[in-house]
Amino acid sequence: MNLVLIILTSVCWWTSSVNPTKELWVVQRESAITIQGSSNIGDYWCKLNTIELGDSIYLHLQNGNLSSIDNSKLFLPVKDFKCVNFLMNRDFQNLLKAKQHRNISIQLTSLAHPENRNYAKLGGKVKITITNISRTYPVVFEYSKINQNNFTLTGKTIINLNDYKLEAPRRLGGMIRFEREVAVDYSLSFRKMPL
């Protein structure tokens, strides 16, 4: 009897684990990415309010847990970032070599599952590509479930301009110096779509 129960349990576990669920989520227009930095005279920011998605994001669930993510690359046109002032707009585009490299891409490569909670801190990884150089960073997202079809992720990644072979801008003959570390802030809204 025990042997039959063990085999039945194993078969039930195996059949549920081989039938993963796939969900389609779309990044909504109200999402934003902000890049923040500082100089020896103050802080600055550059913000992108309209995000173009290369494709929709597919979340694969297995036994109710997130098992993988597909097509999670966001394309961020450098020219569409709006900075604190017009001089920073120009410096930001020159820094990121916008004429040669029109986009920054950010790819969500992993994300912990929120385990049916309405709010949670989730560990994940993002791959950021600037000027054709890619680096992967750990990130902690704050997950907030709005309803069954909507959730938000907010988080921050600290990157170093040296990782992308970028030279921090200088102004007034070097009297104004910009820090090499900048923060990438994510404020992403997702909506579930039917498959």
Is 96 inside any structural domain?
yes
Is 3 inside any structural domain?
no
Domain with 89 in it: 21-193
Is 113 inside any structural domain?
yes
Contact call for residues 189 and 177 (beta carbons, < 8 A):
no
Is 2 inside any structural domain?
no
Is 121 inside any structural domain?
yes
Is 30 inside any structural domain?
yes
**Residue 83: CB atoms within 10 Å:** 17
Q: What confidence score (pLDDT) does residue 62 get? A: 61
Q: How far is CA 127 from CA 86, 107, 109, 137, 186, in A?
A: 29, 5, 7, 6, 13
In angstroms, the CA 112 to CA 120 distance is: 10
Model pTM score: 0.79
Q: What confidence score (pLDDT) does residue 63 get? A: 59
Q: Give 26-83 pLDDT, tens digit per residue.
A: 888 888 999 998 888 888 899 998 665 544 677 766 655 556 676 678 888 999 999 9
Is 188 inside any structural domain?
yes
Q: For the chain, what is the domain count?
A: 1
Q: What confidence score (pLDDT) does residue 139 get? A: 92
Q: What confidence score (pLDDT) does residue 13 get? A: 32
Contact call for residues 159 and 20 (beta carbons, < 8 A):
no
Q: What is the CATH number of the domain that holds 116?
A: 2.40.128.110
Residue spans of the chain under pLDDT 50: 1-17, 54-55
Q: Which helix (H) or strand (E) holds 32?
A: strand 32-39
